[in-house]
Amino acid sequence: MTRTAQPIRVLLQTSIPHVADDWNIGRFSTLGELIAEVADVVARDRQPDRRGEDPILSGLSRTEFDEVWLLGVDGGEGPSARECAAIDAFHQEGGGILTARDHENMGLWLRHLAGVGAANFFHREDSCEADPGRRCADDRETPSISWPNYHSGRNGDFQRIIAAQPHPLLERAGAPGGRIELFPTHPHEGAVGVPAGDERARTVARGRSLVSGREFDLVVAFDRTPAAPGRAIAHSSFHHFADYNLDPSRGAPSFVTEPTGDGMLTEPRARADIRAYVHNAVRWLAPGS
């Protein structure tokens, strides 16, 4: 008798309590549905208790989940030191981690995570990109948002990614060249990159600013080693996964005012590519994959 493999278990988690007019977990429903096509998924907002800590994150365990997808939708303050320590312990036990933040200091707390945290660069001097020439505004259409803020396109459109090297995350059977080429865009993406001296990490995909023409990292992947048994992925923006960026008619918080596009709706390959990417990420991050 053949034993049925256990499904991959994914925690899809935002870094904020539920607020209707914000990037709550309900605004990532399509992402949850795509994950659910290949895994069991629990999707939730952060729910701090009386101590200001989320009981699920502070008690994160490999007995319950195989992966945690962390959406850093906050203004800089998110999970507590205890929650971050639990995420690190989960990762050290082989759990997979995906982080996705956005411009300036959104998701700044990610810097407290070991390994993948150092792949995220922000507006603060102690955590910004090493190249001083990049510490300036790229997107200038929204002056209230400062660097890093790479302009890959309008919400709702797609960008043609630059594959840094062949990687399982970018494979798609039937696609031109057998790989993913298109990603959702955003007017002010954050900054990720390979941390200095971390041999586990490599850039998987890059974008190109429509304003400056500069290339910037979209996806950085960390492979497992005996000393670090969990895999990880860092994304420059959670807008790669938001409902609004796949279909602007789904709506966004009231503070989002930039013009939208329709490329993700009119180009079937773009939808197929992000679907394949999510499936690839779930499988690649899974312990033992």
| CATH at residue 213 | 3.40.50.880
4 belongs to a structural domain: no
Three-state SS annotation for 245-287? HHCHHHCCCCCCCCCECCHHHHCHHHHHHHHHHHHHHHHHHCC
Find the helix packing angle between 268-285 and 29-36, rounded to 10°. Answer: 60
31 belongs to a structural domain: yes
71 belongs to a structural domain: yes
pTM of the model: 0.97
In the chain, the percentage of residues whose pLDDT exceeds 90 is 96
212 belongs to a structural domain: yes
160 belongs to a structural domain: yes
State how far the Cα of 219 lies from the Cα of 205, in Å rounded to an integer: 5
Mean pLDDT of 87-106: 98
Residue 244's SS3 state is helix
Domain count, the chain: 1
Can you give the length of the chain in residues?
289
Q: In the structure, what pLDDT confidence band is assigned to residue 3 with cuts at 50, 70 and 90?
A: very low
For the stretch 143-202, pLDDT in tens is: 999 999 999 999 999 999 999 989 999 999 999 899 999 999 999 999 999 999 999 999
14 belongs to a structural domain: yes
Computed over every residue of the chain, the mean pLDDT equals 96
Find out whether 152 and 159 touch, Cβ atoms under 8 Å.
yes
**Token couple for 266:** 């009119």
The whole domain housing 113 covers 9-126+139-285
1 belongs to a structural domain: no
State how far the Cα of 148 lies from the Cα of 104, in Å rounded to an integer: 5
State how far the Cα of 264 lies from the Cα of 246, in Å rounded to an integer: 6
Find out whether 158 and 264 touch, Cβ atoms under 8 Å.
yes
State how far the Cα of 187 lies from the Cα of 33, in Å rounded to an integer: 25
For the stretch 101-155, pLDDT in tens is: 999 999 999 999 999 999 999 999 899 999 999 999 999 999 999 999 999 999 9
**Residue type (1 letter), 211:** V
131 belongs to a structural domain: no
Place of tokens 């890093």: 148
Residue 1 reports pLDDT greater than 50:
no
